[in-house]
Chains A and B, each alone.
Chain A
Amino acid sequence: MLTLTSPVDTPLHRLPAGGKLAVLALFTAGLFWITSPLWLTLSLAAVLLLHGLGGAAFARHGLLLLRPLWPFVAVVGLWHLWTGDGIAGISIILRMLAAVAAANLVTMTTRLSDMIAVLETIALPLRPVLPPRRLALAIALVIRFVPVMSERLAQIAEAFRARSPRRAGWRIVAPAALAALDDAERVADALRARGGTE
């Protein structure tokens, strides 16, 4: 689900979102400059220490968020063992872990609305083509309706399974797309009912 901001209040929560994103960008770019495994290890350690600022539960949650990376770690590790270039493999893995952990940290300590506000500011030059308010609304709608649509998809899959011995699979793509359009129409009504996008 898309409630990524941690409810645990850390000192990092109080830093401005724009600053955190800028530091994150610099840090990640920096990771690609560094080649020494020692310095990469130190970078990763620094990120993990910052996780520690939020206490044990917060740090544990941060580590859990790294779990989806393990297939990449395994593939990169095995490949480099195969080619006999273990050091390069370790560098890549450390770099990846540090970059993703840092990005997760910013996500966990920044409210979504602040993140969107930064995006709105960055998108200011696009104003004639894309009014920032509309961009922000679009982002909010996506975040709001991803869980709603996945629920809708699950309902359709269940309706299929209720009357079929087979799994639903690709067969529900068309009905799901139509349901999404139908929902979109109702949401448009709700938006219009409260003043539209003007």
Chain B
Amino acid sequence: MPLASPFSDDGILLQDASVAFSGRRVLHGMSLHLTEHRIGIIGRNGSGKSTLLRLIAGLIAPDAGHVRVDGIDPAKDRRKMLTRLGILFQNPDHQILFPTVEEELAFGLIQMGADKAKATAQARARLAAEGRAHWAGAAVSTLSQGQRHWLCLQAILLMGPATILLDEPLAGLDLPMQARLARAFATLPQRLITITHDPASVSDADRVIWLEAGKVHADGPPGDVLPEFVSTMDQLGMSDADADLSG
């Protein structure tokens, strides 16, 4: 894969990016150029997946190297990032910031510069278009888990980002809800980057990146990467290798 110049404004570019938490390296000199439509990032717990997500999203800055999303530094220019990149967090209760549905939907638009009345009108129009007009004033605490996931996704979609980062999007959901959400994701025109430990959920991706101990272990189409991932995970599962402490 050719590495594009740092001035490329298409896609997500990491050049030799490293992240350390209190001296311990979590990501080691990561260089990636992500331009595909559907990208899966897989790895075990602690492999650095979530750190990579936070790095791409600009929630943390790299300690060395740099990260560009469509030519923008995601950790610096937060305002510009809002139209480029949205994040769907794993737990909706960590993402929903407002007590009512319409406030939650309107917030992102206000952040992007819309005035409150316009943002609220847009939020209501979206709810009406989705057949949920009666949700507008509802308290988010009364929504079911699946409804909260739906709300989180809509809040991001309203902001119209070109890329959406999904952090273990299907974990902990019942099967009908998983099917519904997976279907919703499949129809999205946005570039999706899915972070997961579940190989099945990225089997339709255009590209799969396997992280191991903060480094890229394998990178390619799912047909090349996933079978080896599955067999390695099976082997690890057979052994009692869980006695080591990190640090």
Contact = CB atoms under 8 A, between A and B. Distances in A.
A173 interface: no
A1 B143 CA distance: 13
Task: Name the prevailing secondary structure of the A interface residues.
Answer: helix
Contacts of B57: 193
B107 A194 contact: yes
Interface residues of B, number: 30
Given A3-B142, A194-B108, A113 B82 contact: no
Interface stretch (B23-31, B90-98, B205-213): B90-98
Contact of A198 (B79, B142, B159): B79
Contacts of B78: 192, 195-196, 198
A22 B87 CA distance: 42
A111 B137 contact: yes
A186 B141 contact: no
Interface residues of A, number: 26
Contact of B97 (A2, A5, A113, A144): A144
Nearest to B82: A195
B184 interface: no
A196 B18 CA distance: 24
Contacts of A198: 78-79
A87 interface: no
Contacts of A194: 82, 97, 107-108, 111, 155, 159
Interface string A161-194: 0000000000000000000000100110111111
A5 B140 CA distance: 14
A5 B159 CA distance: 29
Contact of B111 (A112, A143, A195): A195
B103 A140 contact: yes
Contacts of A195: 78-79, 82, 108, 111-112
A147 interface: yes
Interface in B64-105: 78-79, 82, 86-87, 89, 91, 93-100, 103
Nearest to B79: A195
B99 A112 contact: yes
**Considering residues A141, A189, A190, A191, which has the most beta carbons from chain B within 10 angstroms of its beta carbon?**
A190
A25 to B, nearest CB: 24
Interface string A128-141: 00000000010011
B139 interface: yes
A148 interface: yes
Interface string B44-68: 0000000000100101000000000
A160 to B, nearest CB: 21
Contacts of B103: 113, 140
Given A195-B108, A196-B78, A198-B79, A3 B139 contact: yes
Given A194-B108, A195-B108, A140 B94 contact: no
Interface string B131-145: 000000101111000
A192 B79 CA distance: 10
A182 to B, nearest CB: 10
Interface in A1-40: 1-3, 5
Given A183-B94, A189-B94, A198-B78, 5 more contacts: A2-B141, A147-B141, A186-B91, A187-B97, A195-B111
* Top 6 A-B residue pairs of the complex, sorted by shortest distance between their CB atoms: A195-B111, A186-B94, A3-B139, A143-B99, A147-B141, A144-B99
